[in-house]
Amino acid sequence: MKARIRHLIIPALAFSYLALAGLPAYAEPQALTFNCNPASDKTTWDALEKRYETIYKYRDQAAGKAKTIQEADEIKKQNFCIVKTDLNNDKIDDLILDFNFGPQYCTERGCRVQAYTINDRGNWQEVLEVHTKAENIKIDTAADKSKTLIVPIKDRDSWVNVPYLYDARQKTYRRDRDGSR
């Protein structure tokens, strides 16, 4: 009887020890929350207006040609939606832009979305451009702190979540074609 109890207790203790030994727990990928309010971060939106001056000019020209005040107001509401998050583990918030500027940037595959890393001098480097439904993008952080963006991509008639891994050597995100993650 004692041998049977010992036979059951030793594996249970070993399992408990491993569970408490600080093994990394898996966390679900986090949904990104896009902010479409320019008043919330004036510095970022000022930089966007400067960088994308022609897009804003085109929007304002289209609003000027609107047939009604309501139509002009709707056009003027077209703006970027952004997420600020660290994409490359340099402890600096980077930027993901959703081009919410109407049909010239949005198709049945979603709207144009670009991700930029920003260095400590404020220089931007584009690391990803896709057409997608930005509100469904998620970010996954592995135990080694590497980041993966889970991006819904339209494949014929359905949406498929596609992982894009950050490649630190190339300083860009690349599609994970082999499913390694």
Residue 87 pLDDT more than 90? yes
Query: Which of 117 and 19 is assigned the larger pLDDT?
Result: 117
Torsion angle of alpha carbons 172, 114, 135, 131, nearest 10°?
-100
Range of the domain at 93: 29-38+80-175
Angle at 141 between CA 136 and CA 142, to 5 degrees: 135
In a domain, 154, yes or no: yes
Return the percentage of the chain with pLDDT > 70, whole number.
83
Question: Would you say the pTM of this structure is higher than 0.75?
Answer: yes
Could you give the number of structural domains in the chain?
A: 1
Give dist(CA 114, CA 26) in Å, integer. Answer: 28
- The secondary structure of residue 87, as a DSSP letter, is S
In a domain, 137, yes or no: yes
Q: Which pLDDT band holds residue 121 (cuts at 50, 70, 90)? A: very high
Give dist(CA 126, CA 88) in Å, integer. Answer: 12
In a domain, 123, yes or no: yes
In a domain, 62, yes or no: no
Q: What is the pLDDT of residue 79?
A: 87
Q: What is the pLDDT of residue 25?
A: 55
Give dist(CA 138, CA 152) in Å, integer. Answer: 9
For the chain, counts of helices (H) and of strands (E): 4, 10
Q: Which pLDDT band holds residue 101 (cuts at 50, 70, 90)? A: confident
In a domain, 171, yes or no: yes
Closest CA to 168 of 142, 131, 133: 142
The first and second tokens of residue 10, run together, are: 């030793």
Mean pLDDT over 56-82 rounds to: 90
Bridge partner list, 75: none
Closest CA to 166 of 152, 145, 135: 145
In a domain, 85, yes or no: yes
Torsion angle of alpha carbons 129, 132, 135, 141, nearest 10°?
-50
The residue assigned the tokens 């991700």 is: 115
In a domain, 95, yes or no: yes
Residue 102 pLDDT more than 80? no
